[in-house]
Amino acid sequence: ISSISFIITFIFLIFSSLILVNQITNPITRLSDAIEKYRKGEYDVLIKAKTEDEIGNVTNAFNEMIRYRKKAEDDLRESEERFRGIVESMADWIWEVDANGRYIYCSEKVEKILGYTPGEMIGKTPFDFMPPNEADRIGGIFTKIVAKKIPIKDLKNWNISKDGQRVCLLTN
């Protein structure tokens, strides 16, 4: 009787282990592997949820997060394309500086106006392209504009083009 009890218990443990591996361990391993891929930059990882329990709910939530990120990336890409299309079709030079006053964006029009490529402008300040006395004058005006947090409006300033010519710009 004890041998039969042992065998039945052993078979029950094997069956329980198989259920545990199939229902819990494997789905958690798949989810863990997908999270690791996501952490490494593979943002298109989706997992098939095989159950409707807590593990299935977590898997579905993970997949929804991936879908949401993908949609946000697609929306951002479309928005950037629209922005570039608008900016590049304008006759004006469009630029943006960071908190330190360094160019972080320059439209292609800068090359026609000052002779520099956008890549040559990035990381530099507007003052790097002005004569020293103009840089001092405009620096004082910029300081007031930044302190008051007001937009730049009809600011005339002189710049030096790549070929050394003085170019007057009107900045808004």
- pLDDT score recorded for residue 171: 92
Q: Please tell me which residue, 51 or 122, carries the higher pLDDT value.
A: 122
Question: Tens digits of per-residue pLDDT, 105-163?
Answer: 999 999 999 999 999 999 999 999 999 999 999 999 999 998 999 999 999 999 999 99
Q: CB atoms < 10 A from the CB of 64, how many?
A: 11
Mean pLDDT across the chain = 88
CA distance 170 to 159: 11
Rounded to 5 degrees, what are φ and ψ at 164? 90, 0
pTM above 0.85, yes or no: no
User: Tokens standing for 35?
Assistant: 């999270």
Share of the chain above pLDDT 90, in %: 52
Residue written as token pair 């593990």: 55
Which residues are paired to 159 by β-bridges? Answer: 167
